Structure 1
Amino acid sequence: MNQVTHWITTPLTPDLLRGALEVERTGRGLLPHRLPARARAQFADGQLARVEAQPSGVRLAFRTRATAVELDALRSKFAYQGAPPRPDGLYDLLVDGRPAGQGRVSGGNVLLVDMVTGSVETRPGPAGTVRFSGLPDRLKDVEVWLPYNEITELIALRTDAPVEPLPETGRRQWVHHGSSISHGSDAASPSTTWPALAASLGGVELTNLGLGGNALLDPFTARALRDAPADLISVKIGINLVNTDLMRLRAFGPAVHGFLDTIREGHPTTPLLVVSPILCPIHEDTPGPSAPDFSGLAEGRLRFRAVGDPAERAAGKLTLRVIREELARLVAQRAADDPHLHHLDGRELYGEKDAAELPLPDDLHPDAATHRRIGERFAARAFGDGGPFAGPTP
């Protein structure tokens, strides 16, 4: 005999969400954003608009005795012309901080990208539902981590027992900014991106401002970091500047100074860690831009290659090796007057030996196993004894 579930619908409100800088109320529900409206008004880049609305690190968080949870959501999922469909985004369920289930939402909008022209066609679809059941029948803290790679509009939350927002944990708030690698790239799930893993190991609350393709030293991103509540801040700088071929060495140094100056306006003594790029062999000594290799796209394989000319380094074109050297120099210079500023060479997170063991599948982005390795190493170096983020864990 089937048991009838008596659902309680809880209004979706921003106090049920963590990890978003701003929450937009739509005609259907809530849309989390990772950049505030002021920043969103200052760029016309559709790709950035899409990735900032992908809720990497954003999670529903509540306390309940419920044994079943349902969430209605409208997703917007990327697809690529000529390629097989991409896997559906995953939702991770955590109970008292431990993995307790995964699920997916069907339907939704499809954002069909033509990688040759960059055009995007939206094919609308219906909302779907993810359901978790069999939760322990006791008072517990529940988190539902949203897919890092699908724009997710939250429509309705149903449980079989009342829900209340999680009380403050007393944990420190870590705000991290970086590229698609920080955003999630090819991590296994939303709670196993490398920043999410590092936050869990470090015992901190995460706000992930990893913006795929858009760690570009934009002033509006610096202001978002400046204005965000934060006890700890890290910025991972480099790969997007190379693979977009955005600037030359003459502009890079002042841009880094300006970015850090802006952050310091709001957080003058907050521990601030500057992380240089992980190893990426195609761009170590070859400038950008990066270009996609479409030869395997029909089979679902996409790779990238560097199309710059190494000889152009003499004219100031950036490579990862040049960026690491310049970041180390700039941070050392600033740290003389800023004892809370720190530097981490990204090759300590993923270097030559790692690349031999776990090569980047598309020559640009790490896979799930590499995300775990980077997260564990970052936690050890940043949150461990003597690290720049070392401190009490409640």
Structure 2
Amino acid sequence: RGIGGTLAPAPPAPRWVVHGDSITEGWWSTRPAHGWTAVAGRALGWDTVNLGYAGAARGELATAEQLASLPADALTLAFGTNCWTRVPHTAALLYETTRVFLDLVRQGHPRTPLLLVSPVLRPDAERTPNRLGATLGALRDAMERAARERIAAGDGRLALLPGRDLLGPEHLADGLHPNDAGHRTLGLAVVTALRRAGFDGG
């Protein structure tokens, strides 16, 4: 019960659903409030739903179906780094995966603002082929090409934020995951991209 006042729920805010890997989940940030999704959500005044899954987020179609079924006023997808290793992808496979993933999400959210963030810098993977011969640079290009083609085909509620140049080596805590400064830089870049696309509700 309230002490010296009454209890009331916070005013409703736009529900922002974000899907990604361990970077989205917030690994290496010193506290949850420093992860990039939290940084961006505060700047936008949105209610952030963080669906980051460490070690996963390879464009699993079951996840796309889940996202399609969830209520959301805006969506952001930030995956692809884990497609370079462990369960390796070719560029052609990630291109098709991205295309189909977007198709499935759009079945539940045909007009919901959607931002796709391609993989951020990963120095050990940028020019190093994985077991199937694909570098992270090639995988990123394939993912971005799938998004650009969909935008060109008429999806005006889809925006792309290329991830390669958003962070530098100084932003990486372990060569893969951002440190606090990197999370903040990434979060603010996402805010800028959403606003430029007209997705901030302002």
Give the TM-score of the pair, scaled to structure 1.
Answer: 0.48
Tell me if 1:374 matches 2:190.
Answer: no
Cα distance, 1:329 vs. partner?
1.5
Deviating beyond 4 angstroms after TM superposition, the runs of 4 or more aligned structure 1 residues are: none
Q: What secondary structure, in the 3-state scheme, does the structure 1 residue paired with 2:133 have?
A: coil
Distance 1:203 1:342 in 2: 20
| SS at structure 2 position matched to 1:195 | helix
Cα pair 1:276 1:323 within 8 Å, conserved: no
Say if 1:285 and 1:320, in contact at 8 Å, map to a contact too. Answer: yes
Query: Percent identical across equivalent pairs?
Result: 33
Give the TM-score normalised by structure 2. Answer: 0.90
Extract unaligned runs of 5+ from structure 1: 1-63, 67-136, 140-162, 289-307, 309-315
Q: 1:237 aligns to what?
A: 79
2:60 — aligned with what? 218
Deviation at 1:138, TM superposition (A): 5.0
Give the alignment of 1:164-203 within 5 angstroms. 166=9, 169-203=11-45
CA-to-partner distance for each residue in 1:213-265, whole Å, 9 max, x for gaps? 11111111111110110011111121011122432223222211111111011
Decide whether aligned partners of structure 1 residues 342 and 359 sit closer, same or farther in structure 2, where only a CA change above 3 A counts.
closer
1:284-323 equivalent positions in 2, closer than 5 A: 284-288=126-130, 317-323=133-139
Q: 1:363 corresponds to which residue?
A: 175
Q: Deviations over 1:155-181 (max 9, x none)?
A: xxxxxxxx66x25x2321110111100
CA distance 1:138–1:274, change in 2 (3 Å): same
* 1:1-394 aligned within 5 A: 65=2, 138=5, 166=9, 169-288=11-130, 317-335=133-151, 336-350=153-167, 354-355=168-169, 358-382=170-194, 384=195, 386-392=196-202
Q: Aligned AA for 2:24?
A: S
Deviation at 1:212, TM superposition (A): 0.6
- Count of residue pairs the alignment pairs up: 201
Aligned to 1:281, the other structure's residue is in SS state coil
Contact 2:28 2:173 survives alignment (8 Å): no
Q: Is the 8 A contact 1:245 1:287 kept in 2?
A: no
Q: Deviations over 1:30-68 (max 9, x none)?
A: xxxxxxxxxxxxxxxxxxxxxxxxxxxxxxxxxx635xx
C-alpha separation between the residues in 2 aligned to 1:388 and 1:287? 37
The amino acid of 1:347's aligned partner reads R
Cα distance in 1 between the residues matched to 2:105 and 2:113 = 11
| SS, match of residue 84 in structure 2 | helix
Q: Please, which runs of 5 or more residues in structure 2 have no aligned partner?
A: none
Q: Give 1:211 shift.
A: 0.6
In structure 2, C-alpha distance between the alignment counterparts of 1:318 and 1:389, rounded to whole Å: 33
Shift of 1:348: 4.5
Q: Pick the structure with more strand per residue.
A: 1
Q: Judging changes above 3 Å, is the alpha-carbon distance between structure 1 residues 388 and 284 closer, same or farther for their aligned structure 2 residues?
A: farther
**Shift in Å, 1:207:** 0.7
SS at match of 2:124: helix
RMSD: 2.0
TM superposition shift of 1:359: 4.6
Could you tell me which amino acid in structure 1 is paired with residue 201 of structure 2? G
Q: Is the 8 A contact 2:159 2:197 kept in 1?
A: no
Contact preservation (8 Å) 1:271, 1:389: yes
